[in-house]
Chain A
């Protein structure tokens, strides 16, 4: 489990430190303070362990954080947008501390060649001394797991002074569990496509007969008459996912946004295990009833499948629903009020326990307006 996260020079965040992370972490705050950027920072960091997105077809995580916001360009052509103030001379720094007390120090350099993951692990002096056996303090090198090469920022080129294979061995020796935990990190936003679900996710759902739980979710809140979720042949000779109702079938694409999002989120989460789930504004398109049903599903799944949740929201209803469900399920919850000092662009965090949110609301102080005090 991730315990804390340090971010530097990423998107609108010059610097931020988020501590005391727990099972369920909800981020609230005004627009533009960096809530989504925090999710993206974790997702980018996870690309060091595995560059490919686990739910989107042939999508590199590093590309996705650029394309999902604007659709304009990709890592090759448009990556400067993720550098703070587009100052590409300053490296992006991410430090992840885990419950195991281990710390992963990661960096993204602008000038490195395009690889599947642009995230580099700082091979500490300690590791490098151990490898070289020399008493001299070696300089810090950076290691990418996916391509198995070392980068030397001083010469701005690959380093051959140490064998990458030996570094790899050491990295796995030290961080095996953390790598496993990070690699399948999923990012749920409202841009999951029908195609991803039909071609990539649903096959695995059927293999595990998880379609039954998704059908129950739909039945409970959105379409009480649904009998099953099936593949229906289309006129183009392909198959479309559809709700089977007593007298007809409706393609997923024709459903309302709320139910469609619920099916997509639930499907993707059902496949994840022992990893991080990043969920951006799950309340979008949801009636409070839908929100409660979807969040109960998400939280129950996260408990069963050991998922650490990071959720952004603008909804006080969602916060209150999650508080209640977490209490029922015995999940630990923290609410992080994110705010930015616009004179320095330093992001700071106020940590609220569930009881604090209850107290503030009792006084009539909406936790989303915490910037007032």
Chain B
């Protein structure tokens, strides 16, 4: 089996994969804010798997919340998936832009929203305080407990925050990391790096060409998330 076969794109391939290939479970669901984010993360994932040359038997599904650009709606979607899971899903990853916030503010606001929404109804989901990863400051882990009648289920919510904080962009996003990888020189003050990466394909082809060390230098948080996932799920 190819090492890539356990990467599932929810919207496009889940149905045929689940039904025809009879995949047994989804271990991890990775949700990006938009399609571009997911394509980049997926490409890095494939690159990492190509490096290790091993099939890890971990089923990772990708999807995005394209068109949903407010935190409350996103939070409702996250809660639906956490509440619907029953043990197969070990981790739930979200990659979000820092935008105009600091990493801590972004993570805390997401967790606060999740908490307030889960306390509002009759949901029994508890989110522990977010723990910053010891190796990457833009990755946080939130232990999530789904309280059930007979037993509790634990899911790790892993939050990766996009943004290059060494630069003075007003809005921080995934493209900050693309610029780093593509060695684009930013010699003027810009609001957001998206305007320098109008076509994500360029970034994707750089990920294809570059070695894993360089990729992980630019996309430190994403590589770290995969490292955590492989450790946690395996």
Contact = CB atoms under 8 A, between A and B. Distances in A.
A369 B15 contact: yes
A155 interface: no
A362 interface: yes
Contacts of B192: none
Contacts of B12: 364
Contact of B26 (A348, A350, A355, A372): A372
A348 B89 CA distance: 17
B25 A365 contact: no
Interface in A349-373: 350, 352, 355-356, 359-360, 362-367, 369-373
A365 B85 contact: no
B172 to A, nearest CB: 25
Interface string B87-101: 011000000000000
Interface in A55-78: none
A364 B88 contact: no
Interface in B5-31: 9-12, 14-15, 18, 23-26, 29, 31
Contacts of B9: 364
B53 interface: no
Given A365-B14, A365-B63, A372-B88, A360 B80 contact: yes
Contact-residue bracket for chain B:
20 to 34
A82 to B, nearest CB: 27
Contact of B88 (A348, A356, A373): A373
Among the interface residues A348, A356, A364, which one has the most CB atoms of the partner chain B within 10 A? Answer: A364
B31 A360 contact: no
A96 B133 CA distance: 50
A370 B29 CA distance: 13
Contact of B63 (A352, A356, A364): A364
B83 A356 contact: yes
Contact of A369 (B14, B85, B86): B14
Among the interface residues B10, B61, B77, B84, which one has the most CB atoms of the partner chain A within 10 A? Answer: B84
Contacts of A371: 25, 88
Given A356-B84, A363-B10, A364-B10, A372 B18 contact: yes
Contacts of B29: 363, 365, 373
Contacts of A373: 25-26, 29, 81, 84-86, 88-89
B84 A364 contact: no
A360 B63 contact: no
Contacts of B83: 356
B65 A362 contact: yes
A366 B61 CA distance: 13
A366 B15 contact: yes
A350 B81 contact: no
Given A359-B76, A372-B18, A373-B26, A350 B84 contact: yes
B71 interface: no
Nearest to B76: A359
A339 to B, nearest CB: 8
Interface in A318-372: 337, 339, 348, 350, 352, 355-356, 359-360, 362-367, 369-372
A366 B88 CA distance: 16
Among the interface residues A348, A350, A373, which one has the most CB atoms of the partner chain B within 10 A? Answer: A373
A359 B18 contact: no
Among the interface residues A348, A350, A367, A369, which one has the most CB atoms of the partner chain B within 10 A? Answer: A369
A288 B85 CA distance: 29
Contacts of B68: 362
B93 to A, nearest CB: 13
A364 B81 contact: no
A356 B84 CA distance: 8
A322 B89 CA distance: 28
A359 B25 CA distance: 19
Given A365-B14, A372-B25, A359 B86 contact: no
A89 to B, nearest CB: 26
Nearest 9 CB-CB pairings of A with B:
A364-B11, A364-B10, A359-B80, A373-B89, A356-B80, A373-B85, A359-B77, A363-B63, A372-B26
20 contacts: A337-B84, A350-B86, A352-B84, A356-B80, A359-B81, A360-B81, A363-B10, A364-B11, A364-B12, A365-B10, A366-B15, A366-B18, A367-B84, A369-B14, A370-B84, A371-B88, A372-B88, A373-B25, A373-B86, A373-B89
Interface of A: 337, 339, 348, 350, 352, 355-356, 359-360, 362-367, 369-373
